[in-house]
A and B are shown apart, each in its own frame.
Chain A
Amino acid sequence: MKVVKTLVTVGITVGLCYALNRGWGNIPPMGNFLSPFTGFWTNAEAIAPKSELQILNIPGLQDEVTVEYDETGVPHIFAQNDHDLYLAQGYVTAKDRLWQMEFQTHFAAGRLTEIVGEKALEQDRYQRRMGSVFGAEKSFEGMMEDPKGKVALEAYSDGINAYISQLKPRDYPVEYKLLGYAPEPWTPIKSALFLKNMSFVLASGTDDLRMTNILGKYGKAIAEELFPNYPFKESPIIPEGTPLDFKPIPLPKAPVDFVGMGSNKVAEERDKGIGSNNWAVGGEKSVTGLPILSNDPHLTLSLPSIWYQVQLTAPGVNVYGSTMPGTPNVIIGFNNDIAWGVTNVGADVVDWYQVKFKDAKKEEYWHDNQWKKIQKRIETYTVKGGKTVVDTVLYTHHGPVVYLDNEKPIRDNIPTGHALRWIAHEKSQELSAFYHLNRAKNYDEYVKALGYYSAPAQNFIFASNQNDIALWVNGKFPLKAREQGKYILDGTNPAADWQGFIPQLHNPHVKNPKRGFVSSANQSSTDPKYPYYINWEFAPAERGRRINTRLQTMNKATVDSLRELQNDNYNLKAEDWLPTMLSFVQKPSQKQMAAVRVLQLWNKFNNPDEIGPTIFTVWVELLNNAIWEDDFGYDKNIPMKSPSHARTLQLILKQPDAKWFDDVRTKDKKETLTELANVTLNATIDSLTKWQNAPMGTAWAWEKYKSTDIKHLIPGLDALSKMDVKIGGGSGIVNATTGRTGPSWRMIVQLGKDKSVKGYGVFPGGQSGNPGSPHYDDMIETWRKGELNSLLFLQNKEEKSERIKQTLVLKKK
């Protein structure tokens, strides 16, 4: 009896310990997680900092490094050589962002299954089949070829590992405890993986499949008419009339027209909020007589923040700015002489080639009139719990065949049975570009640094205290015939292959233009006179047009006037569209009256409390749908895209009787624009009423409709997110804050002579990735209000500042 009783007690105790020591589905390992000795409790940071001076011994250092933390938690690193500088950068970045760095590189490497199990397999497979790891390996090779890049990469990695190796399980960031795993050692290739992932975020957009389906259905003439290669209203990045300072090389001969088979999988829209703004005004337009530069990259708003601020100081370098955890150097920033920033180009660097396999064995493919051998790459996935999955990916000389015909893609704009040619598969040296930019002192050194950069192509804006401003549309661009790659290409035809690259010095650029400013907002890089093909379609022109109009009239610009422009909520699209839309509602019905009145009175600013932007946004969307759905969205199995809003507006204004306005699904009736506008206005009112279960009023406020959320990287963790941030702006607005994307780092730099440069900046989050730190989200409110923090830029470690709150001395071990 006693034996049984004892066995039962011991059994329950051990069983309970076991059950609480492991995760169950989404439930974390609760015993460890709740224990005040090891669990989340130990991640809560004291409001008052521990001590003002901390001394640590770090293996691998060559000399002593001093790190001063300011009141926002920005580390200012003072090292005595490059090696120690990057080692310290790795160390302090890991200290604040270890979980994020590892998670993001696991994502990039297609290794999420190791953390979250089988449910991530399709995502991982997609990542690897697109060739992300293949590309990172090649890119890493390139990075290691530059001796300076090699030192930086390896020291950065050593710094991260120095931090990881002294952690006890109780010190792990809280996300490890929540998901029940432990950090692994860092390797230098992870930095390459991270950078490749930026190509995924910024340079993997592809409409080739949709365009090919349109080509197949309507023919070339209509495809080109409705999807023109230059928009109807544009203000290109390189001002019209900028003379060429190079002799263009001839374009390759266009391959013969090819109508691909396309494929029949459902389409998905590209995220419209990803993009960026930057501009710089020259000395004659600024109050200081020297340039002022502004940049705000728009990315997915997330916690921990995608950016991390740092100051890096060593002999030969003193730079401040933002970087992405996982990569050494500063990516967007300034030093005593220059400032620079980036926006995405959106070049056509993703092309699909229809593959003709010899037979079902798929070991050979037809190209250049011969059968060529398929290369195979084995990808192995380790699934949480111990299982492994092996996958073979086929490669032609173009690149990976991402999905075979019998497979279903996770992203539905990916054609099956096609090989992918993508710039991200190229060997590259992005880190060297940033290494040299961080140290550049003038225009020539900036241009030299850009020569190292491949992808994702960026509009690099520049200003210096020698009173130069410039912008290079920069990256490695394939040398193609015009529109080559607008549609799916013939994989058997060698003339359809990429024929080399545009010489880097021929990339579009402008220095000190007459208008006194340079700017970019992802719109068309150049006007159609530029001698090479970069892409047929860029981001809509509204942001760029608005910025250029404002800068044109701006004189005696200050940091504050540029800050106001960053926060500009003016809806240029409403200015373009609304008068026409309202003209279709000459006699508003009882129901339409109030909405029409709101739109008439609206000042066209997307301010948080306005109702106008809500009604306008829904109406314009529904109207565009009503016009095009019957022509381009009629069959979910044949994904197509609708003509752009800009093209649609042009059609409305110039050809109001075009056949496209008729709904072909109603056989015995011919719809007119007036009807479509009225029907969709009613539908707008109905859907908004239904959405809030309330008639038009404050419930329809723009901020509620847009609902900006800054979410934790793990889906569903709203408690670690900042939900419903009250802020204006929107897609196509200079203040490009949408529901899930927005200005992820706002920076303004006022250049100055003799070390008098002044930087201002903020990002929607905080320096720390720890939800238990006061620095996790302490910049959000400043960001929301459109304010900027003055950035502390120290000249040397002896310089005193009241803003220094903590000092960390790293000594060699």
Chain B
Amino acid sequence: MSAFSNNKIFSPFAGLLLALVILFQYLLPWWSMALASAIAAFLLAGSAGGAFRIGAFINILVWLAIAFWSHWRSEGILTTKIAGVLPLGGSAIALFVVTLVVGGLIGGLGALSGFQVRQLIKK
């Protein structure tokens, strides 16, 4: 396997995934992250495990970066409040965790779906 195997973080798959999830989510509703991940995995994912892991990881990374930027530049003004609105006891960290679990799960499952659909068609 090369260093750019499509099961690695630095791979064409991961790169395409990154580009698509940002583009899709900027233009479309939030659930387009699943579609974007599926398309990237359909085209380039190397294995089921790789699709899920990279799909989850890249989506978590993107969500974390934007969420953290929002949190940081507003000095957490809304994060703690929302962490109190949701039953998270006002913990900003817990809110980040919940957010990233949702992002990771949808991204990973989307990518896995894309990979499995390709396997089905290829046969």
Compute how far the CA of A41 lies from the CA of B70 in the bound complex, rounded to whole angstroms. 6
Stretch of A32-40, A384-392, A579-587 lying at the B interface = A32-40
By the criterion CB–CB under 8 Å, are A35 and B77 in contact? no
Closest to B68 in A: A36
Contact A44 B30 (CB under 8 A): no
B66 close to chain A: CB less than 8 A: yes
Q: Please indicate the chain A residues that have their CB under 8 angstroms from the CB of B63 in the complex.
A: 35-36
Assembly CA distance A718 to B99 (angstroms): 21
Give the shortest distance, in Å, between B47 (CB) and chain A (any CB).
14
Q: Are A44 and B25 in touch, CB under 8 angstroms? A: no
Say if the beta carbon of B71 comes within 8 Å of chain A.
yes
Q: A53 interface residue, CB < 8 Å from B?
A: no
A24 to chain B, nearest CB (A): 13
CB of A9 within 8 A of CB of B113, answer yes
Do A6 and B82 touch across chains, with their CB atoms under 8 A apart?
no
- Closest A residue to B118 by beta carbon equals A6
Query: Which of B29, B30, B74, B102 has the most CB atoms of chain A within a 10 A radius of its CB?
Result: B30
B90 & A10 in contact (Cβ 8 Å cutoff): no
22 of the cross-chain contacts (CB-CB < 8 Å) are: A13-B38, A13-B109, A13-B110, A13-B112, A20-B106, A30-B102, A34-B102, A35-B63, A36-B62, A36-B63, A37-B25, A37-B30, A38-B25, A41-B71, A41-B78, A44-B78, A47-B74, A47-B77, A719-B81, A719-B83, A772-B77, A772-B81
Cβ contact within 8 Å between B123 and A37: no
B residues near A41, Cβ cutoff 8 Å = 66-67, 70-71, 78
Partner of B99, one of A34, A48, A771: A34
Question: Top 4 closest A-B pairs, CB basis?
Answer: A719-B84, A772-B78, A44-B74, A36-B66
Flag whether A248 is at the interface (Cβ < 8 A).
no
| Most-contacted residue by chain B among A21, A31, A174, A178 (CB, 10 A) | A31
The answer to whether B79 touches A44 (Cβ under 8 A) is yes
Interface string of A66-99 (1 = CB under 8 A from B): 0000000000000000000000000000000000
Cβ-defined contact, B109 with A9, below 8 A? yes
Option from A17, A31, A43 in Cβ contact (under 8 Å) with B78: A43
Determine whether B4 belongs to the interface, using a CB cutoff of 8 Å to chain A: no
Task: Mark each residue of chain A from 18 to 33: 1 if its CB lies under 8 Å from any CB of chain B, else 0.
Answer: 0011000000001110
> Is A47's CB under 8 angstroms from B99's CB?
no
The answer to the question of A625 belonging to the interface, with a C-beta cut-off of 8 Å to chain B, is no
A601 within 8 A of B: no
What's the nearest-Cβ distance from chain B to residue A14, in Å? 8
> Which residues of chain B are within 8 angstroms of A47 by Cβ–Cβ distance?
73-75, 77
How distant is the Cα of A432 from the Cα of B79 in the complex, in angstroms? 43
Pairwise interchain contact A10-B116, C-beta atoms closer than 8 A: yes
A771 to chain B, nearest CB (A): 5
| Least CB separation from B90: chain A residue | A719
Given A21-B31, A41-B66, A43-B78, check contact A34 B98 (CB 8 Å): yes
Is A42 part of the contact surface with B, judged by Cβ < 8 Å? yes
Does A252 sit at the interface, judged by CB under 8 A? no
A10 to B106, CA, bound (A): 11
Q: Is A16 an interface residue (CB 8 A)?
A: yes
CA gap between A685 and B41 in the complex, in Å: 71
Interface of A is mostly: helix
A43 to B76, CA, bound (A): 11
Interface bits A765-776 vs B (CB < 8 Å: 1, else 0): 000000111100
In the complex, whether B120 has a CB less than 8 A from a CB of chain A is yes
Is A2 engaged at the interface, CB distance under 8 Å to the other chain? Answer: yes
The yes or no answer to A46 lying at the interface (CB within 8 A) is yes
Q: Inside 8 A of B34's CB, which chain A residues have their CB?
A: 13-14, 17
**What residues on A are CB-neighbors of B62 within 8 Å?**
36
Specify which chain B residues have a CB less than 8 angstroms from the CB of A48 in the assembled complex.
Answer: 73
Size of interface on A: residues with Cβ below 8 Å to B: 42
Q: Which B21-60 residues sit within 8 Å CB-CB of chain A? A: 25-26, 29-31, 33-34, 38
Asked if A6 and B117 make an inter-chain contact with CB atoms under 8 angstroms apart, the answer reads yes
CB-CB under 8 A from B82, the residues of chain A are 40, 174, 719
Closest partner residue, chain A, to B64 (CB atom): A36
In the complex, are the beta carbons of B120 and A718 less than 8 A apart? Answer: no
Contact in complex: A717, B74 (CB < 8 Å): no
User: Interface range on chain B: under 10, 10 to 19, 20 to 34, or 35 or more?
Assistant: 35 or more
B3 at the interface (CB under 8 A from A): no
Chain B residues near A (Cβ < 8 Å): 25-26, 29-31, 33-34, 38, 62-63, 66-67, 70-71, 73-79, 81-85, 90, 98-99, 102-103, 105-106, 109-110, 112-113, 116-117, 119-120, 123
Q: Which residues of A contact B38 (CB under 8 A)?
A: 13
Inter-chain contacts of A174 with B (CB < 8 A):
78, 82
Asked if A10 and B117 make an inter-chain contact with CB atoms under 8 angstroms apart, the answer reads: yes
* Docked-complex contact B70 and A6, CB < 8 angstroms: no
CB distance from A13 to the nearest CB of B (A): 4
Q: Check B30 against A31 for contact (C-beta < 8 Å).
A: yes
A13-B109, A16-B109 are known; give 12 further A-B pairs, CB within 8 A.
A12-B109, A13-B106, A20-B102, A34-B98, A34-B103, A36-B63, A36-B70, A39-B30, A44-B74, A44-B78, A47-B73, A169-B29
Q: Is the CB of A38 within 8 A of B70?
A: no
Q: Is A3 an interface residue (CB 8 A)?
A: yes
Partner of A32 from B30, B67, B77, B113 at Cβ < 8 Å: B30
Minimum CB–CB distance for A25 against chain B, Å: 13
Structural contact, B81 and A720, CB atoms closer than 8 A: yes
**A38, chain B: closest CB distance, angstroms:** 5
Whether B70 and A37, one on each chain, are in contact in the complex, defined by CB atoms closer than 8 angstroms, is no
Q: What is the CB-to-nearest-CB distance from B115 to chain A, in angstroms, rounded to a whole number?
A: 9
In the bound complex, how far is the Cα of B75 from the Cα of A32, in angstroms? Answer: 22
- The reply to whether A6 and B31 contact each other, CB–CB distance below 8 Å, is no
Within the complex, which residue of A2, A13, A37, A44 is in contact with B120, where a contact is CB–CB below 8 Å? Answer: A2
- Closest beta carbon of chain A to B58's beta carbon, Å: 14
Report chain A residues within 8 Å CB of B84: 718-720
Nearest chain B CB to A709 CB, angstrom units? 14
Residues in chain B near residue A21, CB distance under 8 A: 29-31
Residue in A6, A31, A32, A169 whose CB lies within 8 Å of B116: A6
A40 and B78 contacting across the interface, CB-CB below 8 Å:
yes
Give the docked Cα–Cα distance between A16 and B74 (Å): 31
Give complex CA distance A15, B106 in Å.
10
Q: Say if the beta carbon of A45 comes within 8 Å of chain B.
A: yes
Shortest CB-to-CB span from A475 to chain B, Å, is 40
- Residues of B near A2 (CB, < 8 A) are 116, 119-120, 123
**Cβ–Cβ contact B73 & A46, under 8 A:** yes
Q: Does A5 contact B (CB under 8 A)?
A: yes
Output the least CB separation between B50 and chain A (Å): 15
Instruction: Given A35-B25, A36-B99, decide whether A46 and B66 contact each other with a Cβ distance below 8 A.
Output: no
- Within the assembled complex, what's the spacing in Å between the Cα atoms of A579 and B112? 80
What's the nearest-Cβ distance from chain B to residue A732, in Å? 34
